[in-house]
Structure 1
Amino acid sequence: MMKKKNRLRTNNLRTIKNFFPRFLSLTIMSLLGVLVYVGLSSTSPDMIYTLDRYLDDYNTYDLKIVSSMGLDDNDINAIKNIENVTQVEGVHSKDVLIEKNDNEYVLSITSLPEKINTIELIEGRLPSESREIVVEKNLLDKVGYKIGDKIVVQDDSFISKEMEIVGVVRSSLYYSNTKVQQNRGTTTIGTGTINYYSYVLNSNFNQDYYMSIYLTINNAKEEVTSSKKYDELIDDVLNELDGIKDSQENIRYETLYNTAYKEIEDNENKLNSELDKAKKDLNDAKIKLTSAKNTLDNTKKDLDNAKKELDRAKKELDNGTVELENILKSNNISNISDAIISVNSSINELTKELNKMDKNSTSYIQVYNNLTSLKKKQAMLKQLSDSKNKLDNSRVVYNNGLVKYNEGYKKYQGGLKQYNNSLKKYEDGLGEYNSNKEKYGKEIEEAKEQVLSMEKPKWFIYNRYDDQTYSSYIDQTQSIKSLAGLFPLVFFAVAILVSLVSMNRMVEDDRIEIGTLKSLGFSNFDIQKKYLTFSFSATLLGSAIGCVIGLTFIPYLIFSIYKLLFDVPDFQFTFDIISICIGIITAVVCICGASTITAKKVLRYKPSELMRPKVPKAGKKIFLEKFKWMWHRINFSNKITIRNIFMYKKRVLITIIGICGCTALMLCGFGIKDSIIDITNMQYVTTFNYDATVYTNNLNEEDLSIISSNSQIIDYTLSQTITGTLNESNISVIVTDGNNIEKIINLVDEETNEKLELKGDDVIITDKIADIYKIKEGDSIKFLDSYKKEYTFKVTNIVKNYIGHYLYVSSSVFENNNFKYEPNVIYLNTKELSENEQDKLANELLDNDNFINIVNTRMLVNSVQDMLNSLNKVVIILVLLAAMLSFVVLYNLANINISERKREISTLKVLGFYDNEVDSYITKEMIISTIIGIFLGLVLGYFLTNAVISTVEMENARFIRHIKLNSYLYASGISILFTLIINFVTHFVLKKIDMIESLKSVE
């Protein structure tokens, strides 16, 4: 008995060799099925694990806290006291503008991490001094910096403003890598986008507060970030943080309030002291001015009196001079001195003469009288001389007095000028004193009011999911995971059907052998083992190869595609045992199950029945023959083809189903591509009609005048955007004043496609979030803003949208919820601008402190399109695999068809049919089956595409359920092409059929 069984085993093994093409086809089908399932199922966990390991290797944060007014050591100490918080680290950071080659870039400078978010040194060394900096590699590659270059910043947040590049680093916080620009975050300077990142020592920061605090959680490293266990760990700490959040906000508020108020009081005291000193100086100056004024007045009075005396003296001099001149003139005296000399000489001569004369003589009397007359004249002249001398002396005194008067008057004028200058200086000082007293007093009061009206600081707590890059990465992996749900099902379904036909043909070919074995006493199970061994070997081999490729090549290939978006190094394989087991078991059950069913069906017969040739199917009329007017017009070859189709309905049906499934898979792949390729244009061109978004703070008329006066801006629209949640989904509420929303957003009804207007009481929600939460028109919804304030709205319309969730309401509706409408967003419509012109416009606008950030719509389009293109590449891989399956199915079915009908084909050859006629006998059925299969596959592909899109679609995106005509043509064309290739190969197989051997009696 053992020998019999050994021979049976040997025979079973020989079967693989004898039916190797069939064995190979089963192997390839199981390979493709397992490869698709295991590959797609493993890719998502592998990619998530790769990112998770990368983040954990550099101790990336689990939670991040940011405050509207900074954080301090008190906050760090409070966080450290929370249970399960293992590490806490505060971080300083500042965004600055740098220039290189006449271009301007925004550089984020962060304090070098010590424990959390550690960095990888790629080149050079880490900073050892405050004047040193390390940067990311892109800054060197794209901007042109090199190690040793200096980066100069103009910001008082840094002690050393000139920093030398000493190394190149990579940070696990920044792993976005798009064609547009690495996603480094937003900022309030430059173009509104951070271009590059860098690190310096803590000692170089001139900040007394932290910009953010990072923390890690106990046991979080041991869990994958997207796992439920990780979420539970995070939620526990989040609850604890929520518990201390209010108290820490209050403490920070009190600290800032007290510090600010003390600073104001110190400044007020300093100001009052300076004002008092200035007031005292002014009073002293006023006293001096008063004294100087009195002195000047007295001097002026003395000068006036002196002037009067001088005038009187001058008058007397003038009168005396005139009188003297008149006397001299009347006495004919021209010169008193000469006259005196002449008179004195005459007196002396007459005296001498008189002394010689007789006193009694007449001459004596005459001379004596003359002498007397001369003496009188002498006395008069002496008197005149004395008067003249007196006048001369008075004139000298007058002239001296006049000189002194002029000198005194000049000195008085100088003193008066100095007094007037001092008086003006005093009056200016008094005016400045009063002005400054009012100005600084007002500023102090305003500062006090600002401190009193200062809002309480708000904590914003973020986890890894809140990071845009991380959430985008996870969304992409979830899309791939969704593909693993439906695609492999179709692969396995096709494999089951084709395996069923293949094994059925194999069993039918072995009917006589099976009957012989049964007659020799072999059990049904022993006989069945041949087919189980055959199918199991093929399945196991294909599954093993499929697992290897699916676990390694497919995930790595898809990861390589996504590396264009995400700069995550060192791909990690997880070798998901569950996916492997499910894939192999499914393949084994499907294919081996098909062989078991087929074998059992034959083993029900008795050995005598099996050892006789199977009775051929009896020919019978088909329903087309009833239409004689049509049937007679069909030629003989086509009649045979039609009869064969109806005679071998099962095989034809399997062929149709196989081609249908493969065509549906290919169309589904192309359909997914069509559905996602245009959503960026539909969102940012058709739905949104603006070119840029300006986020503002404390918007005023001056800001609007800056916008309206810019020559690059055609038009602008104001709105208020509020972010929050609706149920579990993030949503943006866009509030507008009036009907201006139609200028920036096309509101199209999801059902009627009618264009809507936002009227006074309307509340319009986008369709995707409405579908998620089954929201209908007339339903009430509750919106929770970022400050946990709740608003209730009644939905009036649902509109189409493709990316994100939005709620559109008018300002009047929001004000009814006790909300003040304050525009914080400006939507811009600009001219056609180049990328450089867009950057220039952003730089110009961000020079205004009230403009916080600018987002260019074109940048959003490119960023989203990059992500969708990666998904497209994954879909192309699936299309290629579906095409391979289609080829294998067609080849397998063609071989089965030929092997099943060798006697018919040999008969045709014996009857003299040409090769092309023999080909036609077989290929016509294949072509007709292909055409029917393609048609049904296109129909099935349409529904399959919708089903796959429903699972692949991201939570915040709406794919366009649309398949382009080209996709139908591509899917059909590939199936037809493969059919033609198989028919071409079949031609040579048919030529090799040995007519004699095939027609030998089975007896």
Structure 2
Amino acid sequence: MKTTMWKVTRRLIKKSLGRFLSIMLLTMLGSMTLIGLKSAGSDINRSANEYFDKFDTVDLAVIASQGFGAADEKEIREAHGVSEVEFGNFTDTTIAKSSSSIRIYSAPRRISKFEVVKGRLPKRQDEIALTDRYRGKYKIGSNIEFAEKRGVPEQLKRHTYRVTGFINSTEIIADNTLGPSNAGTGALSGYAVVAKSAFKQNVPVIARIRFKDLKDVDRFGDSYTHKLKKHSKELEKLLSDNAADRKIELEKNLRAQYEKRMAGSNTSGFYTGQAKIGENHIDGKENYPSKISVPEPEYHVHTYRTIPGSDGVKMLRNMSFGVGKVGNVFPIVLYLVAALVTVANMTRFVYEERTNAGVMKALGYTERDVTKQFVTFGLCSGGIGSFLGVLLGTYGIPYVLCSSLMANMTMPIPELKFNWTIVGIAVFLSLSCTVLPVLAIVHREFKANAAQLLLPKPPSSSSRILLERVKFIWKRMSFIQKVTARNIFRYKQRMLMTIFGVIGSVALLCAGLGISSSVNDIEGRQFGDLIKYDVVVTKSDEITNDEQIKLDKVLKSSSVAKYEDVYIKQVSQQIKGVDDEQDITIMATSKKSFAPLIDIKTKALHNSITLPKNGVVITEKLAKLLGVSKGDTFNLNDGGKTYTVRVSEIAEMYAGHYMFVSDDYYSHVWGETPAANSYLVKVKEKSDIANVASKFMNLEGVKGVAHNLNIIEQVRGVSKSLLTVMFVLTIMSTLLAIVILYNLTNINMVERVREISTVKVLGFLNKEATMYIYRETVVLSIIGIVLGLISGKILHDFIIAYVAPSHVMFTPNIELWGYIVPSIAVIGILCVLCVYANRMIRKLNMLDALKSAD
């Protein structure tokens, strides 16, 4: 008997091969998307953790503007929870006869060790290892020469080095955006490592720290972030009172150096690592300086995600978080739609096999035996689909995503592994959709005796619909239109399944394409419509008249289109609910606005904003993070002090956090008048930005240069990660739409085969018979498309708010093609399936279909 049952089951699968394959594809799509998105983020996280652990990457770093004193070092070593500290040096310089900026580090021994790609690390003062991206430009054994900026103390003992190898850094992991620099063009081009003895100063400027309770903790997890934030605050508090003592210590050392040098030479001035000391001259004799002063020392605490050059680490974290967050939303919608159609398909399948089940019961098979064949059908279709989904979701989608997302990272592409938890959930959901409905329906339907089961299930009873009561409409409808309306409401289950199936497919397509348009629109909207300047030039704190004249000459040169002088300050703010401190750029001016170089617009109406007299203008993303609106106040931390500012207006901005303020209101809140310290510069030719930035950077009166290319690269990195995900999901959504509409068409045809045969006997042509049935699908699909576009917009708005990094806001608008393409895609699929339905009707054997079951 068992052999017979297996034969019957095999014949059942062969007979319903189309249904078997469609259910298999639905479960495959659902499990593949869920596993793929969740595994890709997990694979990136795991690979990054392994890489950082392998090279003992820093947890926190402290950078001292005037270097660390012995007391500073002792205090840091004895800080709570510290397991290891390593002090070192670094400086930004340029490659000789070029504007390429390169950051040179002293070689660390234990923390944030460099990965040697080829060759070896330097051991002598005249040796250097370069970033691996320079391997095509230099060879091991060749020489490289650097040129330090004039007018500032030199940091290196020598400027020519022999290349010993090529390396990758675990702090600077991006290959295309290395962050800003205070040399060259203002954007870092590369990095290198030399022996500690290659630096002139024996005073370290960076302390790299690792903590006991962060060892082997997932760097992307909440536990690590919480503990890291706690250690960061403790360290900031510990160092908050060190500046005064360090300043006194430095001034004493400088005075001692001065006295020693004056005893041995007759020079008029000299440089140290901290300040320039000049003597007064009276009657040709050097007089002892009345006062020696150094700038106020500053201590900046950075996490491994905010340390200079860590743009790649932030991008990596944003990528993994973005993929993971999309994986929390998109597959759920896809699974719900797939599950709905799968359940409906299996339900219809059981109904179709009602008579065969009656025959089997008449032959002596039990209800349990009958149930087995349907369960086996569901297990096989769902099992094969899940198996394929697991393979493609574990190795296919993550490989595509990881290869694309990490193409510009120096880290290795992650090794793909099974995520057993997600695999288990996906398989359970897939089999639940294919097996549980069968058990429920079989138990309910097959309780009847064999004689009752041998009779076909009575068709749904027809009843008057609501539209019939609206006489003036009903009377004007044709016969075919009336039949279509009645059939739509007669088969309510199929009606709902069609509408929700199309809604799900269109919503996913619309959301996916909408996110693509929102992401693509950031760069043009931010750096075309709102921010018109290309470069920000920051003057030195004590710029001389001669230096200002030289600076003005470059500002008025033919390569500069426009420039405006403004006051700019950058502060870091810890915001509740946000992991990393957020950098806020404060801009102040005495004018009514920053036009024409910045067009500050309202977020809703896009109207230009005039700077308010009694408040500030903050950007939209910052307002959302702070939880403030127009008229509210919030506290801003600046230089250890807290200032309360009032929000007068919220401005449109998509990358970075800005606060725009008038000079008068700044003076009112801060108690000091903001003197212009920077220039916003618009370059005539975009291709000339790097060259112009280099000219400014070479001036002695310029402290630093920043240009939008760095921000644009960060935005592009975020955009690329989401666009890659959306591309994959758009394909998944299209396949889902095809499978769903095919299933619905197939169910409609099989369910109403007797009805189709009847109308054909009555004289309907094949095309007329096709439209008699298919018109309902078209009407319901149009309803589904309209509701799907609305749902897609809602889903789109939710996703862009959910996955955006803390410093980026996506444009909320979906371009017109984001609505048109999903509509055309579904209509195109419907047209193809209409041809398929017509062919089925042509092949229909009316006599067999109309035979009575009894």
Change (3 A) 1:188 1:968: same
**Offset, 1:878:** 0.3
Change (3 A) 1:116 1:964: same
**Corresponding residue number in structure 1 for 2:253:** 259
Change (3 A) 1:788 1:472: farther
Q: Does 1:879 align with 2:730?
A: yes
Change (3 A) 1:646 1:236: closer
In 2, the alpha carbon distance for the partners of 1:966 and 1:247 equals: 58
- Preserved contact between residue 677 and residue 869 of structure 1 (Cα < 8 Å): no
Q: Does 1:444 align with 2:289?
A: yes
Query: Structure 1, residues 262-290: CA drift from partner, whole Å, max 9, x if none?
Result: 2234456679999xxxxxxxxxxxxxxxx
Q: In structure 2, which of residues 643, 648, 651 is the aligned counterpart of residue 791 of structure 1? A: 643
In 2, the alpha carbon distance for the partners of 1:841 and 1:636 equals: 76
**Corresponding residue number in structure 2 for 1:288:** none
In 2, the alpha carbon distance for the partners of 1:159 and 1:433 equals: 30
Q: In structure 2, which of residues 747, 752, 760 is the aligned counterpart of residue 901 of structure 1? A: 752
Query: Structure 1, residues 340-379: CA drift from partner, whole Å, max 9, x if none?
Result: xxxxxxxxxxxxxxxxxxxxxxxxxxxxxxxxxxxxxxxx
In 1, the alpha carbon distance for the partners of 2:475 and 2:177 equals: 73
**Offset, 1:225:** 0.6
**Offset, 1:32:** 0.9
**Offset, 1:601:** 4.2
- Secondary structure (helix, strand or coil) at the match of 2:67 reads strand
**Offset, 1:889:** 0.6
**Offset, 1:751:** 4.2
Q: In structure 1, which of residues 51, 56, 69 is the aligned counterpart of residue 53 of structure 2? A: 56
In 1, the alpha carbon distance for the partners of 2:246 and 2:376 equals: 75
In 2, the alpha carbon distance for the partners of 1:528 and 1:704 equals: 90
In 1, the alpha carbon distance for the partners of 2:93 and 2:624 equals: 44
Identity across aligned pairs (percent)?
Answer: 26
Change (3 A) 1:818 1:963: closer
Q: Does 1:846 align with 2:697?
A: yes
- Secondary structure (helix, strand or coil) at the match of 2:192 reads strand
AA aligned to 2:86 is E
Decide which moves more: 789-798 or 158-167: 158-167
AA aligned to 2:588 is T
Q: How does 1:409-424 map to 2 (within 5 A)?
A: none
Q: How does 1:613-624 map to 2 (within 5 A)?
A: 613-619=456-462
- Secondary structure (helix, strand or coil) at the match of 1:792 reads strand
**Corresponding residue number in structure 1 for 2:140:** 147
**Corresponding residue number in structure 2 for 1:106:** 101
Q: How does 1:127-526 map to 2 (within 5 A)?
A: 127-141=122-136, 144-154=137-147, 156-177=154-175, 182-218=176-212, 220-235=214-229, 237-238=231-232, 241-242=235-236, 244-246=238-240, 249=243, 252-266=246-260, 434-437=282-285, 440-441=286-287, 444-445=289-290, 448-451=291-294, 454-455=295-296, 457-466=297-306, 467-516=310-359
Q: How does 1:599-614 map to 2 (within 5 A)?
A: 599-603=442-446, 607-614=450-457
Decide which moves more: 619-628 or 105-114: 619-628
AA aligned to 1:772 is L
- Preserved contact between residue 718 and residue 736 of structure 1 (Cα < 8 Å): yes
**Corresponding residue number in structure 2 for 1:718:** 566
Decide which moves more: 207-216 or 511-520: 511-520
AA aligned to 2:51 is Y
In 1, the alpha carbon distance for the partners of 2:289 and 2:95 equals: 36
- Secondary structure (helix, strand or coil) at the match of 1:768 reads helix
In 2, the alpha carbon distance for the partners of 1:771 and 1:204 equals: 48
- Secondary structure (helix, strand or coil) at the match of 1:925 reads helix
Q: How does 1:702-741 map to 2 (within 5 A)?
A: 702=545, 705-709=549-553, 710-711=556-557, 712-713=559-560, 714-725=562-573, 727-728=575-576, 730-741=582-593
Q: How does 1:935-950 map to 2 (within 5 A)?
A: 935-950=786-801
**Offset, 1:569:** 0.7
- Preserved contact between residue 726 and residue 783 of structure 1 (Cα < 8 Å): no
Query: Structure 1, residues 740-767: CA drift from partner, whole Å, max 9, x if none?
Result: 5332433323345443211332222222
**Corresponding residue number in structure 2 for 1:929:** 780
In 2, the alpha carbon distance for the partners of 1:433 and 1:867 equals: 58
Q: In structure 2, which of residues 838, 841, 852 is the aligned counterpart of residue 990 of structure 1? A: 841
**Offset, 1:526:** 5.3
- Preserved contact between residue 131 and residue 167 of structure 2 (Cα < 8 Å): yes
Decide which moves more: 628-637 or 594-603: 628-637
Query: Structure 1, residues 500-535: CA drift from partner, whole Å, max 9, x if none?
Result: 321221121122234455667866565444433332
Which protein has the larger Cα radius of gyration, Structure 1 or Structure 2?
A: 1
Decide which moves more: 86-95 or 823-832: 823-832
**Corresponding residue number in structure 1 for 2:92:** 95
- Preserved contact between residue 189 and residue 852 of structure 1 (Cα < 8 Å): no
Q: In structure 2, which of residues 610, 616, 635 is the aligned counterpart of residue 782 of structure 1? A: 635
- Preserved contact between residue 699 and residue 823 of structure 1 (Cα < 8 Å): no
Decide which moves more: 548-557 or 810-819: 810-819
Q: How does 1:668-687 map to 2 (within 5 A)?
A: 668-687=511-530
Q: Does 1:126 align with 2:121?
A: yes
Q: In structure 2, which of residues 105, 110, 135 is the aligned counterpart of residue 115 of structure 1? A: 110
**Corresponding residue number in structure 1 for 2:272:** none
In 2, the alpha carbon distance for the partners of 1:116 and 1:184 equals: 20
**Offset, 1:670:** 0.8
Q: How does 1:8-19 map to 2 (within 5 A)?
A: 8=5, 11-12=8-9, 14-19=11-16
- Preserved contact between residue 251 and residue 293 of structure 2 (Cα < 8 Å): no
- Secondary structure (helix, strand or coil) at the match of 2:665 reads helix
Query: CA RMSD of the aligned region, Å?
Result: 3.1
- Preserved contact between residue 174 and residue 311 of structure 2 (Cα < 8 Å): no
Query: Structure 1, residues 614-650: CA drift from partner, whole Å, max 9, x if none?
Result: 2234555656667888778766655544443343333
- Preserved contact between residue 696 and residue 824 of structure 1 (Cα < 8 Å): no
**Corresponding residue number in structure 1 for 2:617:** 764
In 1, the alpha carbon distance for the partners of 2:114 and 2:574 equals: 37
Change (3 A) 1:239 1:198: same
AA aligned to 2:413 is D
The structure that is helix-richer by fraction is 1
In 1, the alpha carbon distance for the partners of 2:826 and 2:233 equals: 57
**Offset, 1:80:** 3.4
In 1, the alpha carbon distance for the partners of 2:231 and 2:281 equals: 58
Query: Structure 1, residues 928-973: CA drift from partner, whole Å, max 9, x if none?
Result: 3322222221122122212222212222222221112112111111
AA aligned to 1:70 is G
In 2, the alpha carbon distance for the partners of 1:494 and 1:273 equals: 83
Change (3 A) 1:220 1:32: same
In 2, the alpha carbon distance for the partners of 1:175 and 1:592 equals: 48
- How many residue pairs align between the two structures? 825
**Offset, 1:886:** 0.6
Q: Tell me, which stretches of 5 or more residues in structure 2 are unaligned?
A: 149-153, 269-279
**Offset, 1:924:** 2.8
Q: Tell me, which stretches of 5 or more residues in structure 1 are unaligned?
A: 275-431
Change (3 A) 1:767 1:867: closer
Query: Structure 1, residues 446-476: CA drift from partner, whole Å, max 9, x if none?
Result: xx2425xx52x22211111213321222122
**Corresponding residue number in structure 2 for 1:309:** none
TM, length-normalised to structure 1 = 0.76
- Preserved contact between residue 88 and residue 206 of structure 2 (Cα < 8 Å): yes
Q: Does 1:649 align with 2:492?
A: yes
AA aligned to 2:629 is K
- Preserved contact between residue 130 and residue 203 of structure 1 (Cα < 8 Å): yes
Query: Structure 1, residues 792-832: CA drift from partner, whole Å, max 9, x if none?
Result: 12222222222222222233333334443444652424342
**Corresponding residue number in structure 2 for 1:415:** none
